[in-house]
Amino acid sequence: MADGDFVVAIDSGTTGTTALVIDKDLEVKAKKTVELPQIFPRPGWVEHDPEAIFALAEDAIAGALEEAGVRPTQVVALGVTNQRETTIVFNRETLKPYFNAIVWQCRRTAPICEELKKAKLTSQVRKRTGLVIDPYFSATKIVWLLRHVKGLRKEAEKGHAVFGTVDSYLIARFTGGEVHATEPSNASRTMLYNIVEKRWDGYLCDKMGIPASMLPDVKDSSGVFGYTKGMRSLPDGVPIAGVAGDQQAATFGQACFTPGEAKCTYGTGSFTLLNTGKKPVPSRYGLVTTVLWSIDGKTEYALEGSVFIAGAAVQWLRDGLKLIERSEEIEELAAQVSSSEGVYLVPAFQGLGAPYWRPEAKGIIYGITRSTTAAHIARATLEGIAYMNAEVMLAMKADYGRRIKCLKVDGGAARNDLLMQFQSDILGVEIVRPRIIETTALGAGMLAGLGVKLWKSRDELAARYREERHFSPALTRKKREVLLQQWRRVVEKA
């Protein structure tokens, strides 16, 4: 490749879309983020406009290239990462969606999940997909759409209506409809992909009444999926060469290439992944087993724990309670008190994910007295995020059977020093924050550059990883255990 070659990475997230322009030295030359409007038709329901998802991706790419002073013709590869379980059903030819995207946070399919459990599919889903039956995943969202969108089932049976997670939808739009594809890390989040046999599971499709013709092709995470066609932000012919679900992309961006390495991304929710290597590790403690990525036909796996609400809890303090004007102000407010003084906030606004899996749970603030201030609630919010992540990591340690020495962190809330220090304290492990915390988009760019041989190997990428700060635990084991016991008693009330 000639000097001046650049990779563009697009991160189509839950609350916004970010584009990065990355050079051969793995330096981020520019970043552009645009906010994605949220749609809440009913309590517990969350939707996005698919057309807005595509338009914002174009806007973010164009804005990042302009800021970097990079010509679109200098882009040698495009990487895509995305909110994973969010479900879009669209027309194969026109690419028009039949309905809004149903977002991963949406709980409308809880009754369908109960139907599947009563049909005794729990063990088969766990065995075949590594997942639990929960509204979080894509399959029941597809079932809901097939039941509620007039004429959709006939369209699907004719081969006109197809399903995609956001990556698949964007690839279709970016290629002018020529490619309907995904890759294993996204496919493994649908509750329809057999992670052992590495294919769509016909048995589960039949049991849920989902036509197999709706499902995209599954390709390697790094390699050419197709080429841009008809985009306004990029010329035709740019290879789309790296794709992964957001949490797997962040794991790649954190250079967690060795079994035993773990990362946590603090975004709208928080998501912890532990690289377990070339064999899936079944969970006994409420985690899910998922595909990490597939490169050169070789699949690697992870244990994952998902906390549905993390940064969104801070947004609630800002928008709902009006305690702060900007999300960044929470650290200063929380630092006004040395402890939460027995106040706990359980951020179960969308139910509880791993390791509890209680979709009916509600968020609570517990322990309020006359002396409770906004600062106590702010601190309890940050600590609640850390407690939830600690529960996930402790479950990972039990499943993996080995001590996890450190946790790499990224995402917007990873900038919060108070949160990171308490996370280290309550976990009893070292926290490592990298210099570049936009590791989700970075990971997609790394996969894309690897896919077109801009970088020759993962070793070359790992050599470019740079740490910014370490946080070391300051609590004794006894104090940590006491705090966790108190937290668990509060969670039972949620």
Assigned domain for 142 exists: yes
For residue range 217-259, list pLDDT tens digits in order: 999 999 999 999 999 999 999 999 999 999 999 999 999 999 9
Amino acid code (one letter) for 130: G
At 89, list the tokens.
Answer: 């059903």
- Measured distance CA(485)–CA(431) in Å, rounded: 22
Q: Are 65 and 21 in contact (CB under 8 A)?
A: yes
Beta carbons within 8 Å of 341's beta carbon, 6+ residues apart: 367, 369, 371, 372, 376
**pLDDT at site 4:** 62
β-sheet bridge partners, residue 273: 263, 304
**Strand ranges (DSSP E) for 267-390?**
270-277, 288-295, 298-307, 344-346, 364-366
Nearest to residue 173, comparing CAs of 295, 12, 379, 316? 12
Q: Are 36 and 17 in contact (CB under 8 A)?
A: yes
At 478, list the tokens.
Answer: 């006894």
Assigned domain for 109 exists: yes
Give the chain's length: 494
Tell me the pairing of strands 47-48 and 75-82: unpaired
**pLDDT at site 2:** 42
Assigned domain for 286 exists: no
- Measured distance CA(340)–CA(326) in Å, rounded: 21
Assigned domain for 462 exists: no
- For the cut 80, the answer to whether the pLDDT of residue 8 exceeds it is yes
Mean pLDDT for 296-311 is: 91
- Measured distance CA(111)–CA(303) in Å, rounded: 27
H or E stretch at 426: helix 417-427
Q: Which domain holds residue 195?
A: 6-246
- Measured distance CA(155)–CA(245) in Å, rounded: 27
Nearest to residue 193, comparing CAs of 174, 212, 177, 178? 212
For residue range 383-437, list pLDDT tens digits in order: 999 999 999 999 999 999 888 878 999 988 999 999 999 999 999 999 999 988 8
At 11, list the tokens.
Answer: 């991160």
Beta carbons within 8 Å of 49's beta carbon, 6+ residues apart: 37, 39, 100, 101
- Measured distance CA(43)–CA(36) in Å, rounded: 19
Q: How many domains does the chain have?
A: 1
Which range (35-39, 284-288, 331-335) has the least confidence? 284-288
Q: How confident is the model at residue 1 (pLDDT cuts 50, 70, 90)?
A: very low
- For the cut 90, the answer to whether the pLDDT of residue 483 exceeds it is yes
At 64, list the tokens.
Answer: 């990042």
- Measured distance CA(480)–CA(386) in Å, rounded: 12
Beta carbons within 8 Å of 298's beta carbon, 6+ residues apart: 278
Coil, strand or helix at 59: helix
- Measured distance CA(24)–CA(159) in Å, rounded: 42
Specify the residue for token string 């979709």. 359
- Measured distance CA(425)–CA(80) in Å, rounded: 35
For residue range 140-158, list pLDDT tens digits in order: 999 999 999 999 999 999 9
Distinct helix (H) and strand (E) counts, the chain: 16, 23
Average per-residue pLDDT in the chain? 94
Assigned domain for 283 exists: no
Q: How confident is the model at residue 91 (pLDDT cuts 50, 70, 90)?
A: very high
- Measured distance CA(394)–CA(392) in Å, rounded: 6
Beta carbons within 8 Å of 358's beta carbon, 6+ residues apart: 348, 351, 352, 494
Assigned domain for 306 exists: no
The CA-based dihedral angle spanning residues 316, 319, 321, 322, taken in that order and rounded to the nearest 10 degrees: 130
Q: Phi and psi dihedrals of 64, rounded to 5?
A: -65, -40
Specify the residue for token string 């899910």. 288
Q: Are 146 and 162 in contact (CB under 8 A)?
A: no
- Measured distance CA(188)–CA(132) in Å, rounded: 12
CATH of the domain at 188: 3.30.420.40
Assigned domain for 115 exists: yes
For residue range 315-330, list pLDDT tens digits in order: 999 999 999 999 999 9
Q: How confident is the model at residue 269 (pLDDT cuts 50, 70, 90)?
A: confident
Assigned domain for 123 exists: yes
Q: How confident is the model at residue 267 (pLDDT cuts 50, 70, 90)?
A: confident
Beta carbons within 8 Å of 280's beta carbon, 6+ residues apart: 130, 195, 196, 289, 301
Distance of CA 239 to the CA centre of its chain: 24
